[in-house]
Structure 1
Amino acid sequence: MTPAMPVLVAVIGPVEPALLTAWTAHYRALGITDFRLAFHFPEHAPGPWQGRLLAATHELGIAPAMISTGPWHERINAELRDALREQAGPGWHLLADSDELHTFPTALQEVLATAEEAGRQTVGGLMLDRVTADGRLAHWRPETGLDRAFPLGGHLTHRLLRGDPRKIVLARSGTTVASGNHRAPGHKPDPDTLACVHHFKWRAGVLEDLRRRVECFTSGAWAEHTPAVRDEAGRLLDHTDRHHGRIDVADPRLGFRRVALDGLPAGWAAEARGIAARWRPPAANTHR
């Protein structure tokens, strides 16, 4: 029997309405019809921005499941995500942040059928950071499209920031998923069929967001579980400070090359499997 399509579960911050529109279109093209979205607006998000984003959501035909405000404590994302999953009910849940667009090895229902036949409760993915051709953290025009605006994909997150690039992209209801959707304790996704999680975080405004994150976590205004998120932000800021506000796309360690959303990068299965198998958290949260 063909599996039912998953419910998409996502926690959305104060992103550009155009990004939410592109994100929604991507997942609708994969066959998603049920979107369970929670919006969280920290204190720095201006009211008009909130209004524009929520208006865009309604124009997309999506009714927000939850809206919350206040400090972005590290626990908030997981708490809202889990409440959405409870609301979504039995079946498969697709987990994606608002800057993450998944590309799967086969059609989504085939991916689910394969997982079910193997008795797996999760499907995994690996992040591929998308950046501009020259590494600038640029504004983008919706008519340009994400692929044209951010044509390069590479491994910034784990090779420079030392963050966890692994993602749980699909999980059965009742399967616990860790904070950040990086792991599902007790469940190992098939390492040979990892989705490509195109990560469009590196846009205009992100440096200000990262500086705020460091300041708020350091001061205690936002509560954190560990300093890992703050340290990753610090590493990116250190890097862009050294490269005049840009990401060094010529650094061979980062492996940037041209990619697109309509298919997996060349050699992706072996590349992703190797990275996922070798990745380990940093021994200490210290900046380079």
Structure 2
Amino acid sequence: MLTAPPALIAVIGPIEPPLLTAWVRHYQQLGVERFLLAFHFPEHVSPVLRRDLQATVRGCGIVPIGTSVGPWHEHTNTRLRDALRHRAGPGWHLLADADEFQQYPADLTDVMARADAAGHRAVGGLMLDRVAASGRLTGWRPEGGVDRAYPLGGHLTHRLLRGDPRKVVLARHDVAVASGNHRAPDHRPDPEHLCAVHHFKWRAGVLDDLRRRVQHFSSGVWQEHTPAVRDEAGHLLAHVGRHGGAINVRDPRFAFRQVTLNRMPTSWTTEAHGIFTSWRPPHATPHRG
């Protein structure tokens, strides 16, 4: 029996409309046919951008499930995501943030079929942070594509931000997934077959977003369960402050190198396995980067 394509589940925030178009096209090329998307916008997002993003997905042939406006509490994304998953119904669910372009070592239907055959009810991935060649947080031109604008891939999330780089990229409909899609409690993905999650977060405007996140979580305007998200933002802001507003792409800890969405990174299986199986939450110790 052929494995049906997964339903893609995502909560979309205030990103550039051309990036959203590129994101939809990427997953359509992977074979995704059904998109269950909801928008959530903090109050500062202009009505013009809200309308533009809604028009963007409709222009791609997708009818968004709903739109909400308000604080982006730590639980907001999870609740909206889970409502979309309930609506999607039985089968495999592909979980992706709007700045995450997943890259699989095989055809998507083959990945799900192999997981089914092996009894795995969740498929894992590892974040690969994409940045400009200069390390600066730049904008991009849609006609050039994200690969050209952000040609370097490395391990910024856990080696600088001390965040969890692990992702659950595919999960059966009845598998609970934690906040941020980082874990599926009681379901350990196969570390030998990990997706590369190309993470295009480090673009123009992200520093303002991170400063707003720190301010709102610190003040209590946005509710948090732990200080982890705020701490990660603080690590990035401190780092670029020490490096002239840029990410230090020459730091060997981050292992930045040329990568592309057209082929898996060299030695990805071994590299991803080592990080995925060894990562542990950080201790509360001072950090410099």
Q: Which residue of 2 aligns with 1:233?
A: 233
Q: Which residue of 1 aligns with 2:157?
A: 157
Any residues of structure 2 matched to 1:127-276 within 5 Å, and which?
Answer: 127-276=127-276
**d(CA) in 2 for partners of 1:270, 1:185:** 24
Q: Displaced runs of 4+ in structure 1, greater than 6 A?
A: none
**2:75 match: secondary structure:** helix
The answer to whether the Cα contact below 8 Å between 1:167 and 1:183 also exists between their aligned partners in 2 is yes
Number of aligned positions between the proteins? 288
The answer to whether the Cα contact below 8 Å between 1:227 and 1:285 also exists between their aligned partners in 2 is no
Q: Which residue of 1 aligns with 2:76?
A: 76
* Alpha-carbon distance, 1:243 to partner: 0.6
Q: Which string of whole-angstrom CA distances, capped at 9 and with x for unpartnered residues, describes residues 47-89 of structure 1?
A: 1111111111111111111211100000000000000000000
Q: Which residue of 1 aligns with 2:121?
A: 121
**d(CA) in 1 for partners of 2:169, 2:235:** 26
Q: Which string of whole-angstrom CA distances, capped at 9 and with x for unpartnered residues, describes residues 5-52 of structure 1?
A: 000000100111000000000000000010000100101111111111
The answer to whether the Cα contact below 8 Å between 1:231 and 1:287 also exists between their aligned partners in 2 is no
Q: Which residue of 2 aligns with 1:22?
A: 22
Q: Which residue of 1 aligns with 2:58?
A: 58
Q: Which string of whole-angstrom CA distances, capped at 9 and with x for unpartnered residues, describes residues 195-237 of structure 1?
A: 0000000000000000000000000000001000000000000
**2:250 match: secondary structure:** coil
* Alpha-carbon distance, 1:287 to partner: 5.0
**1:39 match: secondary structure:** strand
Which moved further from structure 2: 228-237 or 47-56?
A: 47-56
Q: Which amino acid aligns with 1:41?
A: F
**1:45 match: secondary structure:** coil
Query: Structure 1 vs Structure 2: percent identity of aligned residues?
Result: 63
In the superposition, the TM-score normalised over structure 2's length comes to 0.99
* Alpha-carbon distance, 1:263 to partner: 1.4
* Alpha-carbon distance, 1:145 to partner: 0.3
The answer to whether the Cα contact below 8 Å between 1:231 and 1:285 also exists between their aligned partners in 2 is no
